[in-house]
Structure 1
Amino acid sequence: MIPEFGHFALIAGLLLSIALAVLPMAGSYTARPLWMETGRPLALGVFGFILIAFICLTISFVQSDFTVKYVVQNSNSILPVFYKVTAVWGGHEGSILLWLLMQAGWAAAVALFGRQLPSELAARVLSVLGMVLIGFLLFILLTSNPFDRLIPFPPVEGTDLNPLLQDPGMIFHPPLLYMGYVGFSIAFAFAIAALLGGQLDAVWARWARPWTVVAWGCLTLGIALGSWWAYYELGWGGWWFWDPSENAALMPWLVGTALLHSLAVTEKRGLFKSWTILLAIFAFSLSLLGTFLIRSGVITSVHAFANDPLRGSFILMFLAVIIGLSLLLFALRAPAVSARSVFSFRSLETFLLGNNILLILMMAMVLTGTLYPMVADALNLGKISVGPPFFNLFFVPLTVVLCLLLGMGIHANWKDSRWDKLLSAWRLPFLAALIIALVWPLAFDHYHWGGVLGIFVGAWVFTSSIGDILVKTRNADSFVAGLKRQRPSYYGMHIAHIGVAVVVLGVVMTTVYSVEKDLRMGAGDRYTVAGYDFEFGGIRLVNGPNYRATEGILHVSKDGEPVAELLPQKRNYLSGGNTMTEAAIDAGLFRDIHVALGEPMDPTNPSGDWAVRLQYKAFMMWLWLGALMMATGGGIAVADKRYRKAKAARQVSVSGKVATA
C-alpha cells in the first residue's frame, strides 16, 4: 500500500497545484483578498503531499520492495542502507521526484517567509510557481511514475545502483544542484509577477534578490561538489571535463551570476529592468534545458538517466511553453519596462554591464559547444565532437577580461567616478598583484608565463577587494569600528569575489604546476614525482559490503620522512559485476597526492606488476575552498536586515555602493 499511497499523494499534489495556479492569480485581478490568501496554504499543502510521496519512495527502497519497478532498477538487497536512501534519486524517476520536492519546497518557503510581500505580488508569484509545479507533476505522473508496480510476478532481487553513484557525495550533490536549478524559478516567478502587475520598480528587485542569491549559492555548491566527486571518484585526477551534463549546470550558473548583478543595479538605480527580466527568464529556462539534456537521452553520461523520447519531447514542449509565453508577455509589457537614466562609462553601472555581457557571451559559447554536436547529428551532418580545446579557446580569455573588469568595478561609484580617484584606487592593488604574479612562480621548478598571467588575474581580484575594504575603514576611529560601519551584504560581496580569486588561482596552479606519471610498478619499485618518493608495497584483497576489491599499497615519503600510505582500489561489485577505480588521495591546502590503480600488466598474475597513475596536484583544494567562499558570501549577503523589512517606498537612494554578492 505504501507505493499506492505515494502515487495518491502525487495526484493530490497536482490537484492542489492547479488550485494554486488559478485562485491566487484570479484573486489578484478581481481584488479578492481571500482568494489571494489561499496561495500560502495551497503552497504548503502541495509541499506536504510531495514530501509524503518522497517518503513513500524512500521506504520502498529501504524495505527493498521489489514489486516497485524503480526500486528493482536501482537497488538490491545487499546494497547498504546508506546507499539505498541515495538510490532514491539515483535514477530518472526518483531524480524528478527530488526536483519536484525542491520545487514545492521553494514555493512553501516563499509562502512562509514572504509574508511581508505585497499581497498581490505574493499571490502572483505563488500562482506562477503553481503553474511550474503543474508541468512537472504532469511529467512525473504521465511519463516517469516512480511507483509503477511489477505485479503479479515481481523479481526476487533487484539490479544495482550505478557504482559511480555509490558514494557519500551523492547525498549532497544532487539536492544542492537541484536547489540551485529550481531556485531560479523564484526569480522567474518574481519577474513574471512583476510583468503581470506592471510594477517593474526597485521594490520587486529587492524582494527577488535574496531568493536569487540563495539559489545561486546552492548551485555554486552543487557544481563544486560534482567537480570534487568527479575528481576523486572517476580516478582521472581531473576536476572539469566539459561534459554536457557539467555544462548543463554551468550555463544557468553563468546567467544567474549576471542576474545577481543586474538585480543589484535595478534595486539601487532602477536601471537594467529589461535586462533583469530577461536574465530571470533565461536562468530558469536554462535550468529546464539542462533537465532536457540530461533526462531526454540525447547525451550519454553517468548523469543522463533517461532514454525515452516521450520524456524528452514532454520537457522540450514544456520548455517551449515557458520561454514562448514569458517572452510574449515581456514583449507586450516592454514599454512599461523601459527606464531612463544617465550614467558615465566610468560608473559602476558600466562595469557591471560589461561583466554581465561577458557572462552571457561565456554562456552562449558553452551553449553552442554543447548543442552543436547534437544538432549536427540530428541534421545528418555527421558525428562531431566538441572538446576542451574549443571551450578553453573562448572561456579562458573571456574569464581574464571578466576578472580584470571585476577588480576595476569594485572601486567605481554609481552614475560617475573621477579618473584620478579610480587610478589612485587601482594603483596599489595592481602593483601588489603584479609582484605576487612575478614572485610566486619562483617557488616552482619552472617559470610559466601563462601561469604568471593567471596568477596576476586572480591576485588582482583579491587585492582589489582587500584594497576596497581598507579604503572603507581608514577614516574610522579604529579598524574594527570601520568594519562595523558596513552592512553584511558588503562583506558578502567581497567574500564572494575573493572566492572567485581563489578559484582562479587554484585553476591556474593545478593546470600549470601539476605533474602526472603513468608507470608500471611491482612490489618494491620506487619512483619520484615532484619531489615525492612512491614505493609500491604490492596488492591485497579487500571485501566490502557489496564488492570485492584489489587494493594497492603505496608508501609516500619526502626527503626520507613518511608522508602518507595510500590505498587505491579496483572494485568489483557483486550484483552487477561492474569494475570501478577508487583513487587514493592525500589532500592538503597547497597540494594533493593522487594515486589511481590501473590494470594488472599480466591478467593471469594479479600479484605481479600493475599500471599505476601517480599525480602531484598543485593547489587543488583551492578550487573547492573558493567555491565555498563564494556560496558563503552569498549567505552573508542574504543576512542583511534590509531584505527582511517590508519596503513601502518605491523610490530608493541612488548613492552608495552595490552589494553584488
Structure 2
Amino acid sequence: MIAELGLAALWLAAALAGLQLIAGALSLTARGASLAGIVRPVAVVQGLLALVAFMALVDLFASTDLSVKLVAMNSHSMKPLIFKIAGTWGNHEGSMLLWVTVMGVAGGFVALVEKRLPEPTMLATLAGQAFVSLGFYAFLLIASNPFERLLPVPQEGNGLNPLLQDLGLAFHPPTLYLGYVGLSVAFSFAIGALVTREVGPAFARAMRPWVLGAWIFLTVGITAGSYWAYYELGWGGWWFWDPVENASLMPWLAATALLHSVSVLAARNALRAWTMMLGVVAFSMSMIGTFLVRSGILTSVHAFAVDPERGSFILALLAINIGGALILFALRAATVTEGERFAVVSREGALVFNNVMLSAILGIVLFGTLYPLVAEAMGAKVSVGPPYFNPMGALFAVPMLIVLMVGPLLRWRRDSFPRIGKALVIPAMLIVAGMIAMVAIGGVSLLSTLGFALALGLGWASVLPLKGRNLRRTPLPIWGMVVAHLGIAVSLLGMSCESAFSIEKLVAVKAGDVTEVGPWQVKLDTVEPVAGPNWTALEARLLVRYGDTGRVIQIDPQSRSFWAPPQQTSESALLTRWNGQLYAVLGGEAEDGRWQLRLWWKPFVTMIWLGGLMIALGGFLALLGRVASDLRRIFARDKIAYRRERQAQLGERS
C-alpha cells in the first residue's frame, strides 16, 4: 500500500507541475492574468507531494519491502538500518526521485518566501522551475518508476554495492543533489528574468542566496566524496580526474563564477549578461553530470545506470532545457543592458578576470571528460588523466590565484595598484621564500613548488581585508570571504605537500616483521578473522610507532568479504597526526605465509579536506550574513509601512 501511495503522490506532483507551468505561463498574458493567484499554492503542494513520494520510498527501504523491485535489487534484510535508508538514493531510480523531491520542495519554498521580485518575474520563474521538474517527473514515471512491484516476491534482496555501504557516502549524494537543485532554482530565476526583461540588482539579490546555498552544498559534497574515495577505495589518492568526479567539479566551477558574478550584479548593477549566461551554464553542467552518471556510457563505482535508453531520455531533457534556455538568451541578450561601467583595475575587474579563468578551467575539464567518450564512439581508445588536467588547469589556476590575492583589496569601480602595493609585500615575500625552500629541498615538481608558494602568499593575503576593521562589527559576508579564501590556501598547501612529499611502500611481511615508511615504524602483529553485520573480514593488527621514541599505537586495516552482493573490499586504516596521515591497506597472503601491506606516509594531506570545509564554512557565513541583512531590510520596510498606516488611521480619526 505504501508503494501505491508513493506512486499516486508522484503522479499528482507531476500533474501539478504541469498545471504550474501552464498557469504560470498564461498568467503573463492579458487573458490569463486571473490564473496568477494559483501558481504559488500549486508550487507548494507540488513540493509536498514529491516529499510524500520520497518518504514512502524511504519507508519501503527501511522495512525491506521486497515486493518492490527497487528494494529487492538494492537492499538486504541483514544490512544496518542506516545503509537501508541510504539505499533509497544509492541507486538510479531513488536518486532521481531525490532529485525531483528536492527540486519540488525548493520550488515550493521559493513560492512561499520570495516577495522581492516583481510578480510577473516570480511567476515566470516558477513556470521555468515547473518546466524543468516536469521533464524529470516524466523520466521517472515513464522510464524509471521507483515503485514498480516485483512478482514473485524474492526471499531476500540483492543488497547495496558494498563500496556504497559507508557513512561518508550515505550523505555524499544528498549534499551534491542539494547543490544541483539549488542551481536549478538559479536557472529558473535566470529564465524568469529573461522572459520579463527584469535583469537588475533586485533579481540578483533574490537569486544570490540560492546560488550561495547550492555552492555550499556542492563544496561539502565534493569534499566528502574526495575523502570517501581516499579512504574507502584503498588506492591512497584523493582525486583521480575520474569522469564522474569531474561531473561534480564542473557545476562547482560554474557556480563559483556565477556566485561572484551575481554578487557584483546585486551590489554594483554590473555584469548583467554575464550573470545570465553563467546561470544557464551552471545548471547545464549539472545536467551534463546527470547524463554522464546515468547514461550507461561510464563504468564507475559512482555511476548508477547502465541503460542507454535512459541516457537518451536524459540527453533529450538536456537538449530541451539547455537548448531552450540558450535560444531564449540569444533572443533576449540584446535587451539586457550593460549595467554600470568599471575600470579594469577594480574589484569588479578582478572578479571578471577570475571568472574568465574559472570558465577556462571548466572548458578544460569538460573537454578532457567528453573527448575520450567521443573518441571511443569513433572506435579509438583514448585516456585523459592527470598529465593533461594538471598542467592545463594550472595555466589558468596560477594567474587566478594571484588575482585572488589582489582582488579583495581593490576598491569598487576604480583603483590603482600603487595604493595596495605595501599590503602585498609580505605575500610576495612568502611566495618567493616558498619557491626557494622547495627548490632547496630538491626533487619537487614545478606544480608542487608553485602550489606551495602560492598557498603561503594566498594564506596571508586572504586575511588582509580584515586589516583596520573593527572585527566585532565586520559584516559576516566579509568574514565568509576571508574564511573561504583562507580555506583555498589551506587546501592548496595540503595538495602541494601530499604531491611533493608522500612516501609509498609495498611490502610482504610475516607476523613480527617490522618495516618503515617515512618516520613510522610498522610491525605486523597478527592477522585474524572478524565478522560484521553483513560481512566477514581478515583484520591485520599493526603496531606503529613514530620514530624511535613515540608510543606504540594499534591500527587495524581489513580485507572484507560481503555476501549480499558478493564482493571483496579493502578497509584502509588511517592514523592522523598534525603533520600528516599514516595510511595502511591489507592485501592478500602469499604461499610462504607473508602478507602484503601497502603503506603510505602523507604529510599534511588532511589539510586538503580541512580547507574544503573552511571554504564551505565561509560560504555559510556569507549566506547567514546575507539572509540576516535581507530580514532586517524586510522588517524595517514592514515597520515603516506599519507606521505610515497607523499615522493614516490616526489622521482619519482626527
Shorter-normalised TM range? over 0.9
Which one of 577, 583, 589 corresponds to residue 594 of structure 1? Answer: 583
How many corresponding residue pairs? 633
Residue-by-residue CA offset, 1:138-175 (whole Å, 9 max, x unaligned): 00000000111112x12211111000001011221010
CA distance in 2, matches of 1:631, 1:80: 30
- Alignment-derived partner of residue 525 in structure 2: 537
Tell me how large the CA RMSD over aligned residues is: 2.1
Residues 391-410 of structure 1 mapped to structure 2, 5 A cutoff: 391-410=389-408
TM-superposed CA distance for 1:119, in Å, is 2.4
Q: Is the 1:355–1:406 Cα contact (8 Å) retained in structure 2?
A: yes
**Contact residue 391 and residue 447 of structure 2 kept, 8 A:** no
The equivalent of 1:411 in structure 2 is 409
| Alignment match, 2:386 | 388
Kept in 1: contact 2:345–2:414 (CA 8 A): yes
Q: Structure 2 CA distance, aligned partners of 1:370 and 1:185?
A: 22
Which residue matches 2:334? 335
Counterpart CA distance in 1 for 2:487 and 2:92 is: 33
Q: Scaled by the length of structure 1, what TM-score is found?
A: 0.92
Is the 8 Å Cα contact of residues 164 and 170 (structure 2) preserved in structure 1?
A: no
Question: Which residue of 1 is the match for residue 499 of structure 2?
Answer: 511
Q: What is the alpha-carbon distance in structure 1 between the residues aligned to residue 261 and residue 255 of structure 2? A: 10
8 Å contact 1:433–1:463 — kept in the other structure? Answer: no
The letter of the residue matching 1:456 is A
Structure 1 equivalent of residue 612 of structure 2: 627
Q: Is the 8 A contact 2:271 2:339 kept in 1?
A: no
Residue 454 of structure 2: aligned partner: 457
Among candidates 478, 481, 490, match of residue 493 of structure 1 = 481
Give TM-score scaled by structure 2 length. 0.93
The SS at the match of 2:66 is coil
Corresponding residue number in structure 2 for 1:552? 540
Give the Å deviation of 1:538.
Answer: 2.1
**Maintained 8 Å contact 1:27/1:33:** yes
Specify the alignment match of 1:102 in structure 2: 102
Task: Determine the C-alpha separation between the residues in 1 that align with 2:522 and 2:158.
Answer: 39
Q: Which residue of 1 aligns with 2:644?
A: none
CA offset digits 1:196-227 (Å, max 9, x no partner): 11111121111111110010000000000000
Aligned to 2:594: 609
Q: Is 2:507 the partner of 1:522?
A: no
Distance 1:112 1:454 in 2: 45
Question: What stretches of structure 2 of length at least 5 have no aligned partner?
Answer: 638-654
Q: 1:254/1:448 Cα in 2 relative to 1: closer, same or farther (>3 Å)?
A: closer
Secondary structure in structure 1 of the residue aligned to 2:305? coil
1:594-624 per-residue CA deviation (whole Å, 9 max, x = no partner) reads: 100111122xx7xx21110111111121111
Deviation at 1:278, TM superposition (A): 0.6
Deviations 1:65-94 (A, max 9, x none): 211111111112212222111111111111
- Is contact 1:37–1:123 with CA below 8 Å preserved after alignment? no
Instruction: Give the partner amino acid of 1:453.
Output: L
**Which residue matches 2:561?**
572
Give the SS at the match of 1:484.
coil
Give 2:128's aligned residue.
128
Is the CA contact 1:429–1:467 (under 8 Å) kept in the aligned structure 2? no
Which stretch has the larger CA shift, 536-545 or 59-68?
Answer: 59-68
Bigger relative contact order (CA 8 A; separation at least 6): 1
What displacement does 1:485 show? 3.8
The CA distance in 1 between the partners of 2:322 and 2:634, in whole Å, is 31
Aligned twin of 1:643:
630
Residue 397 of structure 1 deviates from its aligned partner by 3.1
Report the residue type matching 1:525 in the other structure: D
> Which moved further from structure 2: 583-592 or 512-521?
583-592
**1:160-175 → structure 2 map (5 Å cutoff):** 160-175=159-174
Aligned to 1:658: none
Matches within 5 A, 1:37-56: 37-56=37-56
* Distance apart, 1:437 and its partner CA: 5.5
CA distance in 2, matches of 1:376, 1:426: 46
Q: Please state whether the residue corresponding to 1:595 is helix, strand or coil.
A: strand
1:534 touches 1:556 (CA, 8 Å); kept in 2? yes
Which residue of structure 2 aligns with residue 86 of structure 1? 86
Classify 1:563/1:392 alpha carbon distance in 2 versus 1 (closer, same or farther; 3 Å).
farther
Alignment of structure 1 residues 363-442 onto 2, 5 Å: 363-380=362-379, 382-435=380-433, 438=436
Q: Is the 8 A contact 1:207 1:643 kept in 2?
A: no
CA distance in 2, matches of 1:321, 1:266: 28
Q: Secondary structure at the match of 2:471?
A: helix
Offset at residue 31 of structure 1 (A): 8.7
What is the CA–CA distance in structure 2 between the aligned matches of 1:107 and 1:137, rounded to whole Å?
Answer: 14
**After superposition, what is the alpha-carbon deviation per residue over 1:433-486, rounded to whole angstroms, capped at 9, x for unaligned?**
4445556898x897776544222211222211222211x42xxxxxxxx12343
State the AA in 2 paired with 1:110: V
Give 1:32 shift: 7.1
Report the identity percentage: 39
Letter in 1 for 2:302: H
Helix, strand or coil for the counterpart of 2:537? Answer: strand
1:552–1:290 distance in 2 versus 1, CA, 3 Å? same
Distance 1:138 1:468, change over 3 A: same
